[in-house]
Homo-oligomer: A and B are copies of this chain.
Amino acid sequence: MTATAPVVLAIDAMSGDHGLNMAVDAALSVLAEFPVLQLILVGDQDQISAALKARKPAAETLLRISLQHASEVVAMDESPSRALRGKKDSSMRVAINLVRDGRAHAVVSAGNTGALMATAKFVLKTLKGIDRPAMISPIPSMNGHVHMLDLGANAECNAEQLFQFAVMGSALVTAIYDIPRPKVALLNIGEEEIKGNDVIKQSAQLLQASTLNYVGFIEGDGVFLRDVDVVVCDGFTGNIALKTGEGVAKLIYHFIKQEFTRSMFTKMAALAAMPALKALGKRMDPRNYNGASFVGVNGIVIKSHGSADAQAFAAAIRVALREVENDVPSRIARLLADALPERAPDAKLA
């Protein structure tokens, strides 16, 4: 893709806890930021039109927005199978169809994770050699950031699937950051080889025997403190770790506020400390890390946090743009072809 070709993103405008207005605000903000961008807003056409008109965007901006009607919305607590079978005209499904049909380079949704994964998998199909797609996202760490997967798409995984996650995570980091051999670690409750359950131990064996740059087990604190590029875990553990991290960050933010408003003296100190505190707040703000990629499907699907506000949703749209510009799925597919066929089919663990 040349620098001047537009990047077209399909936006599930009805998704998330805050719905339409949040999505439209985010859309207008990223369009202003990136002239290369064109957006297809998917959902109830009348409602989207009304929300757009109310914001009086410039004609130049409107030229880069198109609408795609969808009559249904997947509820946040709807079962993935019901959404998949029963809501074929949902904003989520129609947005994903646009990627399948080549009308959009990527899709961004803040909808129901399970439904988004099931629909993406059904419509776009998985890459060759991949059983299950996974959710991956950069999270802040001592060295800048680390990519972790799976973050909640697959609650239970076998060793072979964890191995595939490692391959995909490594490929994604190579594709986006041009790191030739990313350091891959397996999340565990200890760094010694005897620690962990059978799935973890089997998965470690597969990784040791692979061509990946596998560096061994990592503990929960090591994710944020050690120098690794990719951390692999099942979706249950990944989701708990991610949300625990968010909870602790919010708790500490609350402590900071309490300590700096305790007395007249600390309030004055807070004024003096404001630039540092603001910079800190920005680095701690989970909204800036919003936007997880579904790796393993034929296409770019970005999942925003369901509770995202416009600022957080805009961050997720930026992730989609970056993946399109780096041609991530094709590069992952090529790297997968290199990494996976070496393993004989009988080497698979059930």
Contacts and interface: CB of A to CB of B under 8 A. Distances in A.
Contacts of A233: 240
Question: How many copies of this chain are found per oligomer?
Answer: 2
Interface string A151-164: 01001100000000
Interface residues of A, number: 60
A52 interface: no
Interface of A: 77, 79, 140-142, 152, 155-156, 187, 189, 192, 194, 196-197, 219-225, 233, 235-237, 239-252, 254-256, 259-260, 262, 265-266, 268-270, 272-277, 279-280, 283-284
Contacts of A244: 220-221, 223-224, 240-241, 244-245, 248
A79 B192 CA distance: 10
Contacts of A194: 77, 79
A270 B260 CA distance: 12
Nearest to A275: B266
A243 B266 contact: no
- What 4 A-B pairs have minimum CB-CB distances, sorted nearest first? A220-B243, A221-B247, A224-B247, A220-B244
B266 A251 contact: no
Contact of A220 (B246, B254, B279): B246
Nearest to A259: B276
Contacts of A243: 219-222
B255 A283 contact: yes
